[in-house]
Amino acid sequence: MSSIRIVVVDDSPLSVALISDMLEQNDFEVVGSAGNLEEVKEVVAETKPDLVTMDMTMPGTDGLECTRAVHAIDPSIKVIVVSSMMDDEIVSQAKRNKILGYVQKPVDEDELITLIKRIMLAEELFVALEQEYFEVFKDALRDGMNRMTKTLLTYEREYICEGEFAPEDIAIIVGIIGKFPGKMLLSLSKPSANVLVATILKREPKDGDEVNNTLAEFANIISGNACSILNRKNRAYGLRVAPPSVLSGENMLVNALNFPTHTAVSKAVFGEMLLNVGFKRSDDDAWT
């Protein structure tokens, strides 16, 4: 991708200089700056930037009015707020005005650069995630099994799932939050679940609740470790896991998602386990 062209909007010359230096040191191209509404209109119309960093408070105007002026010139220009002011009402107004993210002053360079990359390099980010996430989750499950049960796990077959499918007796679902939302599902039979839990606990489980709670924590650890590895590969993913849900019953069906998922069937001493993982493309919004 060619250099990302950015306009810095702020009425403080110091802030303009600091933000511009951060951007240029990270290979972005600062093509102009503005400190009031008229300057915003002029410099944006002249330079047609890819992205604008927007202060919220300026003489005679505010960041929301300036953002509307930017989008009146070209609605495809991305806008993020860089301001000392940040509260729930400002964030709500910013979202309504199609501002895609927020960095609070004093500006942390890593936070600013990560936010811009998440917005501007979304497709490149997703392609990178798509190429590596499944192997990372498979490795995390294999490693977690070894560390928590001292047993080995091998993968026997893999396939892509684009429709609904029927898991085994028990399914543990973990939602994944971040630039690209996703989910991880582990599925196994009740006999296999009981043996797995007994191996983890080094004793027989007390009841069904303890089985479910142990499986939930097991899935939480696997998904959390996998997301941490992916985040270390690229901070812009910003992946976090939601609390797991444990479902059980006969003839369960998992509804088809609006994005394909990868499935691997593994075998261990306790039996088979199904790992299903997928992520979806998102829009440019980086508030998550």
How confident is the model at residue 3, as a pLDDT? 86
Which pTM does this prediction carry? 0.71
Pick the CATH number of 5-120 from 3.40.50.2300, 3.40.190.10, 3.40.50.150, 3.90.25.10: 3.40.50.2300
Residues 6+ apart with CB under 8 A from 61: 36, 37
Integer Cα distance of 145 and 188 in angstroms:
14
Superfamily of structural domain 124-279: CheC-like (3.40.1550.10)
Q: What is the pLDDT of residue 1?
A: 46
Domain with CATH 3.40.1550.10 in the chain: 124-279
Alpha carbons 66 and 146: distance in angstroms, whole number: 56
**pLDDT (0 to 100) of residue 260:** 86
What is the per-residue pLDDT for 281?
83
Query: Tokens representing 143?
Result: 């490693």
**SS3 per residue for the chain:** CCCCEEEEECCCHHHHHHHHHHHHHCCCEEEEEECCHHHHHHHHHHHCCCEEEECCEECCEEHHHHHHHHHHHCCCCEEEEEECCCCHHHHHHHHHCCCCCEEECCCCHHHHHHHHHHHHCHHHHHHHHHHHHHHHHHHHHHHHHHHHHCCCCEEEEEEEECCCECCCCEEEEEEEECCCCEEEEEEECHHHHHHHHHHHHCCCCCCHHHHHHHHHHHHHHHHHHHHHHHHHHCHHHCCEECCCEEEECCCCCECCCCCCEEEEEEEECCEEEEEEEEECCCCCCCCC
pLDDT number for residue 284: 53
Residues of the chain whose pLDDT is less than 50? Answer: 1
Is the alpha carbon torsion for 46, 51, 52, 56 positive or negative? positive
Q: In whole numbers, what is the pLDDT of the chain averaged over residues?
A: 92
Q: Which residues pair with 200 in a beta bridge?
A: none
pLDDT computed for residue 236 by the predictor = 85
Residues of the chain with CATH 3.40.50.2300: 5-120
